Structure 1
Amino acid sequence: MKGDRVEIVIDAGSGTTRTYEIVATRAGRRVGITHGRGVVEVAETTRGGSVVRTARFLANRVLALVEHPAADAPAADEITPALRSA
């Protein structure tokens, strides 16, 4: 969903950190996370499953991986007006 984003904080060595952000830039795209064999991969994909862009990080360097879902549309009020009899 447009607006979904993943924030990745990695250890850059010497006690410093770097932050990267992958964002779903268009409607219908999503951001997915996979990990395995010592690598964390964050990819933006289309509805059809085509990968638009990918970021790969060594798993032992990743300090934090934070998913920020896009805000949902505001829900309609659940209050219904009372019917009056005349």
Structure 2
Amino acid sequence: MKGDRVEIVIDAGGSPRTYEVVATRAGRRVEVTTRRGLVEVSEVTRSGTSVRTARFMSSRILALVEHPADENQRRSPA
């Protein structure tokens, strides 16, 4: 859903860095996948095609926060 977003805070040596992946258009969603020490955050279209992907080593991640779209945006107008 447009409005979905994921914030990722990583340890970048001396200071933490924050990255954000957002569903930019209607019908897109943000998916989080964890595989073999790697966390992948992707913006995906309705058909399942990945538009943008961010990959992070799981040992460097301090926080991963998922923010779903508002309920008002999820409901379609009648």
TM-score (norm 1): 0.82
Partner of 1:52: 51
Q: CA deviation at 1:70?
A: 1.0
Partner of 2:4: 4
- Between the aligned residues of both structures, percent identity stands at 69
Counterpart CA distance in 1 for 2:72 and 2:58 is 34
Partner of 1:69: 68
Q: Which amino acid aligns with 1:33?
A: V
Counterpart CA distance in 2 for 1:61 and 1:40 is 10
Task: List alignment gaps of at least 5 residues for structure 2.
Answer: none
Counterpart CA distance in 2 for 1:29 and 1:63 is 26
Partner of 1:13: 13
| 3-state secondary structure, aligned to 1:60 | helix
- Measured against aligned partners, the alpha-carbon deviations of 1:6-49 in whole angstroms (never above 9, x if no partner) come to 000000012x1000000000000000000111100000000000
Runs (4+) off by over 6 Å: none
Q: Which amino acid aligns with 1:6?
A: V
Partner of 1:81: none
Which of 1 and 2 has greater Rg?
1
**Number of residue pairs the alignment of both structures matches:** 74
Q: In the alignment, does 2:11 pair up with 1:33? A: no
